[in-house]
């Protein structure tokens, strides 16, 4: 068996969350089998906020998180274990059938070694700052993660980034500094 798959079980898949699905309560609304596994780092990607096809009228009323390939960057997030029965509901939540996001298979570095995970990347991405409602999800995720954990520090870093680079800007957001996640995680 491939060592990268050692954390998954038959009938289950691993999912890497970096946006609103950092919050367990949000993810479990449509995917009740979701169980926290660990935190992880996705290399060579960067976190972005924006809209699909410039559709401003979405349920969040602003930009949402996505990842974009960017050599040398990294995104921290949470690895969840989900039952295969929730694969379709997760795809539906991410708007796969509408063409909003595409599923990707990525390798996420964890304390227990690399893990192959499903994640999602926005199609036809257009930069747009997130709404206060979307920012609130990150505040809730921070409140519900163990203080001092890498997950908590990741959410804290995202909130700092949102506050200083996105929330007070117009439709263009400045990219996060490369060291943002690194400096927050190394303070752990």
Q: Where do the structural domains in the chain lie, given as residue ranges?
A: 3-186
Q: Which of 1-5, 114-118, 122-126, 161-165 has the highest mean pLDDT?
A: 114-118
Which of 3.20.140.10, 3.90.79.10, 3.10.490.10, 3.40.50.1860 is the CATH number of 3-186? 3.10.490.10
Residue 15 marked in a binding site: yes
**CA 81, 85, 87, 89 torsion-angle sign:** negative
Q: Is 20 annotated as a binding residue?
A: yes
Q: How deeply is 75 buried, as exposed, middle or buried, from its count of CB atoms within 10 A (0-12, 13-18, 19+)?
A: buried
Identified catalytic residue from 25, 68, 94, 105:
94
Report d(CA 146, CA 141) in Å as an integer.
10
Q: What is the mean pLDDT of residues 44-52?
A: 90
Catalytic, 94? Answer: yes
Report the alpha-carbon distance of residue 110 to residue 120 in Å, rounded: 19
- Alpha helices by DSSP H, listed for 30-126, are 87-93
Between CA 46 and CA 76 the distance in angstroms is 9
Between 44 and 52, where is the model more confident?
44
- Does this model's pTM top 0.85? My answer is no
Match 């409602």 to its residue by tokens.
Answer: 133
Regarding predicted confidence, which is higher, 118 or 55? 118
> Is 36 annotated to bind ligand?
no
Residue 132 has pLDDT above 50, yes or no: yes
């Amino acid at each position: 068996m491939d060592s990268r798959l050692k954390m998954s079980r038959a009938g289950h898949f691993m999912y890497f969350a970096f946006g609103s699905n950092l919050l367990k309560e949000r993810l479990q609304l449509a995917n009740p089998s979701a169980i926290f596994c660990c935190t992880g780092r996705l290399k060579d990607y960067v976190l972005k906020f924006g809209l699909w096809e410039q559709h401003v009228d979405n349920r969040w009323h602003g930009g949402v998180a996505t990842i974009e390939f960017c050599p040398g960057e990294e995104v921290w997030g949470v690895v969840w274990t989900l039952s295969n029965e929730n694969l379709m509901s997760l795809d539906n939540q991410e708007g796969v059938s509408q063409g909003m996001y595409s599923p990707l298979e990525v390798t996420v570095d964890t304390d227990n070694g690399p893990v192959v995970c499903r994640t999602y990347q926005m199609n036809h991405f257009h930069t747009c700052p997130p709404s206060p409602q979307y920012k609130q999800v990150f505040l809730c995720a921070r409140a519900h993660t163990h203080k001092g954990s890498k997950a908590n520090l990741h959410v804290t870093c995202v909130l700092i980034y949102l506050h200083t680079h996105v929330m007070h800007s117009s439709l263009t957001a400045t990219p996060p500094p490369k060291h943002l996640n690194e400096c927050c995680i190394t303070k752990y």
